[in-house]
Amino acid sequence: MFDEILAEEYPKQITLENSAEVTIRLLSSGDTDALYQFFQSISRDDRMFLRDNVRDKSVIEGWCRNMDLEHVIPVLALVGDKIVAEISLHLERHGWKSHIGKLRLVVHKDFRRQGLAVEMVKEVIEIALHTGSLEQLNAECMVDTQQGAIRMLELLGFIQRAILPGQVKDIEGRTHDLTLLSYELRDQEFHAID
Ligand SMILES: CC(C)(COP(=O)(O)OP(=O)(O)OC[C@H]1O[C@@H](n2cnc3c(N)ncnc32)[C@H](O)[C@@H]1OP(=O)(O)O)[C@@H](O)C(=O)NCCC(=O)NCCS
């Protein structure tokens, strides 16, 4: 049922602040090469917070081959055939965090500051509202180096809940404090996606 809603909703078109036309759709099995190219264009610093080694093509192949929308919902933004942003919503279907979805997002450097991240996060909020199980969305950002991301999420209504000192290490081995931001889905009206 949820799969059917997603299939009906996507693809959709949006227009960025610079008038670029962008297609938003779910990741599909044929996206391996385009997604691999996208991640190669992401800087070392920006790749650091991704959980997987996206420079390893077999990792990307695995994502595209073994899609499981019950646990990860990956949404792409494309200009023509080129992927310009990727956001994923991660769900735990069982256990004490099954009401919390986690999001991760990267926008291509050439497409930043055009409102794309805001649009992508709004998409994920809509999707999360339709899961029926999620009550909260979480995102984690480094306090010192991801102020732009924090600002973007706060604009959308995310609230910083906790700062976790020394929680992550960068590629050079320096530790950074992490801030946990969350968004209450229960406070939102239900907007029919279809
Ligand atoms: C953070 C990131 C997703 C923002 O993407 P984006 O498409 O440029 O964001 P938007 O254009 O939607 O930004 C909306 C607002 O957020 C704020 N913002 C976004 N990036 C900012 C930055 N680098 N510095 C300061 N403010 C920023 C601004 O208020 C911006 O509005 P404005 O451009 O009108 O001033 C992008 O820079 C990125 O991919 N960074 C690396 C990965 C990352 O940090 N991911 C977030 C972890 S969940």
Give Dmax (Cα) for the chain: 46
Provide the token pair at 121: 């996060």
> What atom of ligand 1 comes closest to residue 106's alpha carbon?
39
Lowest mean pLDDT of 16-20, 48-52, 69-73, 102-106, name the range: 48-52
> Is ligand 1 within 6 A of the CB of residue 155?
yes
Place of tokens 């910083």: 160
Q: Whose CA is nearest to atom 25 of ligand 1?
A: 148
First to last CA, the chain: 13
> Is ligand 1 within 6 A of the CB of residue 149?
yes
Averaged over 43-53, what is the pLDDT? 80
Banded model confidence at residue 50, pLDDT cuts 50, 70, 90: confident
Q: Which domains does the chain have, with CATH numbers?
A: 2-134 (3.40.630.30)
Average pLDDT, the chain: 92
Q: What are phi and psi of 75, to 5 degrees?
A: -120, 135
- By most ligand atoms within 8 Å of CB, the mutation choice from 49, 113, 125, 181 for ligand 1 is 113
The alpha carbon of 9 is separated from its chain's Cα centroid by a whole number of angstroms, namely 17
> Is ligand 1 within 6 A of the CB of residue 106?
yes
Please tell me the predicted confidence (pLDDT) of residue 193: 44
- Per-residue pLDDT tens for 69-115? 999 999 999 999 999 999 999 999 899 999 999 999 999 999 999 99
Q: Whose CA is nearest to atom 5 of ligand 1?
A: 117
> What atom of ligand 1 comes closest to residue 113's alpha carbon?
11
The alpha carbon of 91 is separated from its chain's Cα centroid by a whole number of angstroms, namely 12
Q: What are phi and psi of 51, to 5 degrees?
A: -70, -35
Residues in the chain: 194
